Amino acid sequence: MKLLTFVKEALEGRKLATAGAIWLLIIVVAGIAAPLIAPFDPLEIDPIARLSEPGTPYLFGTDHFGRDTFSRAVYGARMALIIGIGSVMVALLCGGLVGMLSGYFTGLGHVLMRMVDVLMAFPALLLALVLMTVLERSVFNTILVIGIVYATTTARILFGMMLKLKNEVFIDAARCSGAGHLSLLFRHILPNLLSPILVQATFIFAFAQLQAAALDFLGLGLPPEVPSWGNMLAEERIYITRAPWLLIFPGVLIILSVFSMNLLGDALRDRIDPRFKDDIAGV
């Protein structure tokens, strides 16, 4: 409930961010109810209707196998959700734990944060590519790799906040009433980090979409049979002149989703720390 009011407050008077939130809600609903919404099986082939234009019965047209693009897009939304939520969870769990422990135990922090620095020295996509070439193409591995890439930034952010929080007087006060390390970390400090973690989660969700699409496009992400927006782009890119809608639909979906997530993240961040607010954000 508190989370809902928090989001509501963040969106107050911000039309673009609200539109973004509504769009994300549509994606979430489409993803969850994909089998009910999609008129066809996303893998069903209709060879006669190959590369047909948008219309009836194929709302977004068909691809070069004759699969319904609309159904694939709807199932792609489901995949986008899975990748997004999965990566956010991996990133927050690994990065959050590393960042919090590093900030709290100074000695351990020196070691762990240097390892994080090494990982951060690689560009995000390059690191993801290297890890994916080692691992097999699968939904789980894609989530894992993207999660690890963004765990580094999460660790950095939480490390910094931890350094500040652990010196707060109320932490000393908690120690005075006999709280141990575990209780200090997870009962007294973690709840104070929830709002920055929430903001970080929205940005990771957005970047995970881009990263996943990029990996798919390079043929190193999800297995080719999985209907995802990135895979749709990758498979149909050679038909860009004959059937441009095959690329326009998934492309627009990726852009809108990432953009919406960023708008929402901006709004949440401004709610937490109004100092970052810039003039355009209020539009």
Partner 1 sequence: MRYVTALTLGSRMISPVSDNQPLLRVENLCIAIQNAGQLQPVVRDLSFEVQASQTLGIVGESGSGKSLTVLAIMGLLSGSPVRVTSGKVWFDGKDLLQLSDAERRSIMGDGMSMIFQEPMTSLNPVYKIGDQIMEGIRHHQHCSAKEARTRALQLLEKVKIPDASTRIDHYPHQLSGGQRQRVMIAMALACDPLLLIADEPTTALDVTVQKEVLDLIAEIQQDTGTAIILISHDLGVIAQTCNFVAVMYCGEIVESSTTEKLFQRLGHPYTRGLIESIPPLHSDVEWLNAIPGQVPALNALPVGCSYQPRCSHAQAQCRQNPPVALLDDEHIVRCHFAQQLQGRAS
Residue numbers of the site for partner 1 (CB under 8 A)? 106, 166, 168-170, 172-180, 183, 187-188, 191-192, 194
Number of C-beta neighbours around residue 177 at 10 A: 7
Longest Cα pair distance anywhere in the chain, in angstroms? 76
CA gap 248, 245 in Å, rounded: 5
Which one, 101 or 146, has the nearer CB to partner 1? Answer: 101
CA gap 187, 145 in Å, rounded: 30
DSSP SS3 for 68: strand
Which one, 14 or 166, has the nearer CB to partner 1? Answer: 166
Which one, 134 or 176, has the nearer CB to partner 1? Answer: 176
CA gap 124, 204 in Å, rounded: 12
CA gap 62, 50 in Å, rounded: 6
CB of 127 to partner 1, least distance (A): 33
CB of 172 to partner 1, least distance (A): 5
Which one, 13 or 191, has the nearer CB to partner 1? Answer: 191
Contact yes or no for 162/103 (Cβ under 8 A): yes
CB of 4 to partner 1, least distance (A): 17
CB of 155 to partner 1, least distance (A): 20
Which one, 47 or 191, has the nearer CB to partner 1? Answer: 191
**Residue tagged 């500040």 (tokens):** 164
CB of 191 to partner 1, least distance (A): 4
Closest CA to 99 of 118, 117, 112, 115: 112
